[in-house]
A and B are shown apart, each in its own frame.
Chain A
Amino acid sequence: KAGVTQTPRYLIKTRGQQVTLSCSPISGHRSVSWYQQTPGQGLQFLFEYFSETQRNKGNFPGRFSGRQFSNSRSEMNVSTLELGDSALYLCASSSSGGGTNEQFFGPGTRLTVL
């Protein structure tokens, strides 16, 4: 089975621009979560989608949004980029979304905002 894939792997943007990141979960997985990883803040939960519905949301401003498609692929969008948005963005998928399931992570998208 192919793992979780994320595209692109690296992005460089300037302040004020917007960006869209993509995540393809493991086949059959319906839960997709997004995390922001920075050296100072660690892993911060952004949101989770399950069967095309946002099920959980972290404490991020409205500039961060996402969606999930019927094939479980997910996209994350960040509008009006700020320098502080520079981070590694990780996507993780889980099979049924039940609490006992571990998550499988993609390699991440490294976003640099100049």
Chain B
Amino acid sequence: AQSVAQPEDQVNVAEGNPLTVKCTYSVSGNPYLFWYVQYPNRGLQFLLKYITGDNLVKGSYGFEAEFNKSQTSFHLKKPSALVSDSALYFCAVRDYNTNAGKSTFGDGTTLTVKP
């Protein structure tokens, strides 16, 4: 079984400050980890993924995420937040032997960046 936890329903940051959106996971084998963003009345957009290799993964719009195997975490980060980053963020996990179609998503974290 696979599961994802996003412990914060809401994250508030000031524009220009660094942001972190937290994600922890549980899988039986090696994980494949993903971050998606959802803007109002839109579908989810892929931001970045960790499959293997470097623990620090860089993605779209200046976002990055750090894979930490010992802490089973995959936190999303950005050095300097923009008001336009305000959206709903989802972490997703898949076990290495699970195909692409069946991802398990966290409950989402609403990020609000204030000017």
Chain A interfacial positions (CB closer than 8 Å to B): 4, 31-33, 35, 42-43, 45, 48-50, 55-56, 58, 90, 92, 94-108
Contacts and interface: CB of A to CB of B under 8 A. Distances in A.
A45 B103 contact: yes
Contacts of A95: 100
Interface in B38-66: 41-46, 49, 51
Interface of B: 32, 34, 36, 41-46, 49, 51, 90, 94-108
A90 B99 CA distance: 18
Nearest to A48: B101
A100 to B, nearest CB: 5
Given A31-B100, A94-B101, A100 B45 contact: no
A48 B99 contact: yes
Given A4-B43, A90-B44, A107-B42, A99 B97 contact: yes
Contact of B101 (A31, A90, A100, A107): A31
A46 to B, nearest CB: 10
B43 A108 contact: yes
B105 A107 contact: no
A42 B106 CA distance: 8
A97 B104 CA distance: 15
B100 A101 contact: yes
A104 B46 contact: yes
